[in-house]
Amino acid sequence: MGMTVTQKILAAHAGLETVAPGQLIEARLDVVMGNDITIALAVPEFRRTGAEKVFDKNKVIVVLDHFAPNKDIKAAMQCKVCRDFARENELTHFFDVGRMGIEHALLPEQGLVAPGQAIIGGDSHTCTYGALGAFSTGVGSTDLAVGMATGENWFKVPAAMQIRLTGKPGPWVCGKDVMLHLIGHIGVDGALYRSMEFTGGGVAQLSMDDRFTIANMAIEAGAKNAVFPVDDVCRTSLAKHCRTPWTSFEADPDAVYENTVEIDLSAVRPTVAFPHLPSNTRAIDDVGDVPLDQVFIGSCTNGRMEDMAMAARILKGRKVHPRLRVLVIPATPSIYLECLEKGYIRIFMEAGCAVSTPTCGACLGGHMGILAAGERCLSTTNRNFVGRMGHTDSEVYLCSPAVAAASAIAGRIVSPETLEQGEA
């Protein structure tokens, strides 16, 4: 029986010729990543292993991005634990305030993740790096601690589902719309503990930023991981960023998939997820009249350069609706600087947006954009569970940067096309 891409990567890292779905294996790790929340929780467990140092100071990465810059004393203490741990272990890749970005945008930009790698992270959206053809998945802080100490973790080999993409996205449709469309179709448990493997001619029509967004949200369908092929688009990105040798894998012709989902990209419309699940989706044409209190553009899902460019294109020369507030957070310092150079920061601020240093704070309801009871936010983030961005009586709607920017001007959820036609 043939193997999928994920199964081949896991077999290689377990030192086995083949693996099968459901098999328990121990696999060596290429990257172990944690943030200010999960590293702080993992450090006591790391001590209990008896390890004096991490297994490899070049392969353990710490990014302070969730409650940094520190929002309160508790956050400051968490970050201090991480800083002390990083210094004690002389970590090569430690990203503190001023250098840090949102982890899942930062690591690919820094060239620290690559095709064919086995990667774990103390964050559920670690599946992002599957966009580069890696096996990448989130773990809890205990597994994170063991990974830091030993350079290995155990895995149950996932079965796979194939997502076959055809066609080309239409105007204002991006990776976020594709993934919301998919999750709306299969549900939040539609890929439960499976590898989502993206194939088909439509893959070539997606940019790397699109692919990062799609892979990022695999966990929102319950997937263990997602993986894209290493094609010309990916290789071009690797040539620019990657700092480590890499090996790509291809699925065998007789690889077994539990099911196949077909998506014609040309048929996907801008899509919005209503509260309180990413699967509660509607095409923009079916949204209706939904007034807003806040719009957020950023996060590990949509804080990259293409996202900033899309928002700036719509906001240029326009003003944010007076009834709402808009937050824009570029995902890394490099993206922030490029936004400055291209004039996007000026566009955002002249439109009436608040622009912040990179942080995950708004996305998880930590700081920088907390919602009050009864408030409604349209967000380019990945989750809209009850209380995700603040009060349990608030509402979060998910969308692309294009829909977010257009809606920020209209004061209610609209498509960019509606704004262009002067109907908002």
The last residue of one of the domains, among 216, 242, 264, is 264
Q: How many residues appear in the chain?
A: 424
On whether the CB atoms of residues 318 and 410 are closer than 8 A, the answer is: no
What digits encode the pLDDT tens for the residues 259-310?
A: 999 999 999 999 999 999 999 999 999 999 999 999 999 999 999 999 999 9
Specify whether the CB–CB gap between 373 and 340 falls below 8 A: no
Check: pTM over 0.85? Answer yes or no: yes
Strands 24-28 and 152-156 turn out to be antiparallel
Measured distance CA(322)–CA(98) in Å, rounded: 32
Residues 208 and 287 in one domain: no
In tens, the pLDDT along 143-180 reads: 999 999 999 999 999 999 999 999 999 999 999 999 99
Beta bridge partners of 31: 119
pLDDT score of 267? 96
On whether the CB atoms of residues 270 and 169 are closer than 8 A, the answer is no
Segment 35-63 shows an average pLDDT of: 96
Residue 275: which CATH number? 3.30.499.10
Residue 422 scores a pLDDT above 90: no
Note whether 240 and 260 are same-domain residues.
yes
Residues 260 and 277 in one domain: no
Total domains in the fold of the chain: 2
Residue 165 and residue 138 in one domain: yes
Structure tokens that stand for 129 in this block = 């790096």
- H helix or E strand, kind and range, residue 60: strand 60-63
Residue 271: which of 393, 157, 401 has the closest Cα?
401
Task: Indicate the pLDDT class of residue 243, thresholds 50, 70 and 90.
Answer: confident
Q: Are 29 and 112 in contact (CB under 8 A)?
A: no
In the chain, the percentage of residues whose pLDDT exceeds 90 is 94
Element (H, E) at 54: none
Q: Answer yes or no: are the C-beta atoms of 168 and 200 closer than 8 Å.
A: no
Sign of CA dihedral 98, 103, 104, 109: positive
Q: What is the DSSP string of 272-294?
A: EEPTT-TT-EEEGGG----B-SE
Same domain, 232 and 285: no
Kindly state whether residues 135 and 245 are assigned to the same domain: yes
Are 91 and 188 members of one domain?
A: yes
One domain for residues 217 and 302: no
pLDDT at residue 417 greater than cutoff 70 = yes
Q: Are residues 275 and 260 in the same domain?
A: no
Per-residue pLDDT, 370:
93
pLDDT (0 to 100) of residue 38: 96
Which parts of 166-256 fold into alpha helices (H)? Answer: 175-186, 208-216, 232-241
The torsion defined by the Cα of 328, 333, 339 and 343, in degrees rounded to 10, comes to 100
Q: What is the pLDDT of residue 424?
A: 59
Domain boundary pick from 264, 292, 321: 264
Question: The tokens 């930062």 sit on which residue?
Answer: 106
Q: Give the span between the Cα atoms of 340 and 333, in whole angstroms.
A: 10
Same domain, 295 and 190: no
Give the Å distances, CA to CA, from 287 to 63, 233, 283, 319, 320. 37, 34, 7, 23, 20
Q: How much is the average pLDDT of 328-350?
A: 97
Which of the four pLDDT bands, split at 50, 70 and 90, describes residue 423? low
Looking at every residue in the chain, the average pLDDT score rounds to 95
Half-sphere exposure of 51 (CA within 13 A, CB side): 20
- Domain of residue 347 covers 269-420
Considering the domain architecture, whether residues 202 and 279 belong to the same structural domain is answered as no
